[in-house]
């Protein structure tokens, strides 16, 4: 693992999530958010999810809603979207 990569995730009462180290938001809806962090792909599942803040240059994302699960993929997505296709299985 590259120690110079920054990624931090904080969940508050399963109703708010702050994520640092976000490099791309692939897609999102009220039940799922697909994003890429500096340490790999991440899928957040829940209900009534809303992207409240996105600071692309800072790599920071804030999500509100009921958070049910998180799933990481250690590989970064390449130009063919390999990580996203694996996460959609």
Q: Kindly report, residue by residue over 67-76, the tens digit of the pLDDT.
A: 999 999 865 5
Alpha helix segments (H runs only) across the chain: 82-87
SS3 category, 30: coil
For the cut 70, the answer to whether the pLDDT of residue 51 exceeds it is: yes
Tens-place pLDDT, residues 7-26: 899 999 999 999 999 999 99
Q: Does domain 8-77 have CATH number 1.20.1600.10?
A: no
Q: Mean pLDDT over residues 33-61, rounded?
A: 93
The pairing of strands 16-20 and 60-73 is antiparallel
Which residues, 6 or more positions from 82, have their beta carbon under 8 angstroms from its beta carbon?
75
Which of 50, 17, 58, 13 is closest to 31 using CA atoms? 50
Structural domain spans, the chain: 8-77
């Amino acid at each position: 693992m590259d120690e110079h990569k920054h990624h931090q995730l904080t969940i508050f009462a399963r109703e708010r999530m702050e994520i640092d180290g976000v490099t791309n938001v692939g897609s999102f809806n009220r039940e799922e958010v697909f994003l890429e962090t500096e340490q790999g792909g991440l899928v957040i599942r829940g209900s009534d999810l809303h992207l409240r803040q996105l600071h692309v240059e800072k790599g920071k994302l804030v999500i509100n809603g009921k958070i049910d699960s998180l799933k990481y993929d250690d590989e970064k997505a390449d130009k063919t979207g390999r990580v996203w296709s694996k996460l959609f299985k």
